[in-house]
Amino acid sequence: MRQEETKQEQIKQEQIKQTRRGARQPEGTALMLQTAIWLGVLLIFIGIGIGIGWLLWGKPEKEKNIDLKAVKAPSWIEQDFIRKNIYSRPAVSLKQVDGIVIHYVANPGSSAKQNRNYFDSLADQSENGTSASAHFVVGLEGEVIQAIPVSEMAYASNYRNSDTIAIESCHPDESGRYEKATYDSMVKLTAWLCRELELNPKKDVIRHYDVNEKNCPKYFVENEDAWKQFLKDVEDAV
């Protein structure tokens, strides 16, 4: 009799244990569900953050794989490279080109050839001389002279020297306004560079003013509408 009671008691205790185990299962399931919900919320916030980042700064761009040394100038560009020197052609290679900077020459009425020759003459300076140059100079009659290869750095755009191409532009007087031939060649040259270097005229073509707030190119700084029209003309020509 006592053995039978003991056996029944064991069975009862086992049933209690099984009941307790069954009661714990919902707690584990609830914890897993809660964790899944939190992970889902976290992923949503990450997605929103990425979306906002793209809206503010644009979609991350892939690194370009352009052989700058292989870029060939068309026949309407006269290649007349200046001598390699520490003041105007340091022969420092550009790893990548991320923009084009538009400048204007400081001497009204001068030609593209005269400005090219000035850059070359800087090689004859003694110590602590002036550093200045540009990749291209567009003249009063629309002529385009290339003074430095696009694969090398020029001394024109301050901290943007290391990743931009510089274009100097000639003008007839102190207003800085361009002759039609000069303007047309500037558009043509800038559009060609955008195509060759995979640049976007809307965001990759800038003024020297946009680098350090220098009044250069004067006419495009003092006439914002003219600058916007130039960018539109370049975009249409690309």
* pLDDT, mean of residues 92-109: 97
* pLDDT, mean of residues 78-85: 98
* pLDDT, mean of residues 31-41: 74
How does pLDDT run across 129-158, given as a tens digit for each residue?
Answer: 999 999 999 999 999 999 999 999 999 999
How does pLDDT run across 150-173, given as a tens digit for each residue?
Answer: 999 999 999 999 999 999 999 999
Residue 222, H or E segment: helix 218-222
Closest of 221, 228, 105, 237 to residue 184, by C-alpha: 237
Burial of 189 (0-12, 13-18, 19+ CB in 10 A): buried
* pLDDT, mean of residues 61-70: 82
**Phi then psi dihedrals of residue 177, to 5 deg:** -70, 145
**Is the pLDDT at 47 greater than 90, yes or no?**
no
How does pLDDT run across 178-216, given as a tens digit for each residue?
Answer: 999 999 999 999 999 999 999 999 999 999 999 999 999
**Is the pLDDT at 26 greater than 70, yes or no?**
no
- What was the pLDDT predicted at 128? 87
**Is the pLDDT at 7 greater than 80, yes or no?**
no
Task: Look up the pTM and report it.
Answer: 0.75
Which tokens in the block code for residue 234? 């370049």
Confidence of residue 220 (pLDDT cuts 50, 70, 90): very high
- Percent of residues, the chain, with pLDDT higher than 70: 80
Confidence of residue 125 (pLDDT cuts 50, 70, 90): very high
- What was the pLDDT predicted at 9? 66
The mean pLDDT of the chain is 88
**What letter would DSSP give residue 179?**
P
**What is the signed CA dihedral for 86, 87, 91, 93, rounded to 10 degrees?**
110
- Cβ neighbors of 151 (< 8 A, separation 6 or more) are 68, 69, 71, 93, 94
Strands (E), the chain: 77-79, 99-102, 136-138, 144-146, 164-169, 205-207
CB-side neighbour CA atoms (13 Å) of 32: 6
Higher pLDDT, 203 or 49: 203
Residue 233, H or E segment: helix 224-237
**Is the pLDDT at 4 greater than 80, yes or no?**
no
How does pLDDT run across 13-23, given as a tens digit for each residue?
Answer: 666 555 555 54
**What letter would DSSP give residue 81?**
P
**Phi then psi dihedrals of residue 131, to 5 deg:** -110, 125
- What was the pLDDT predicted at 12? 61
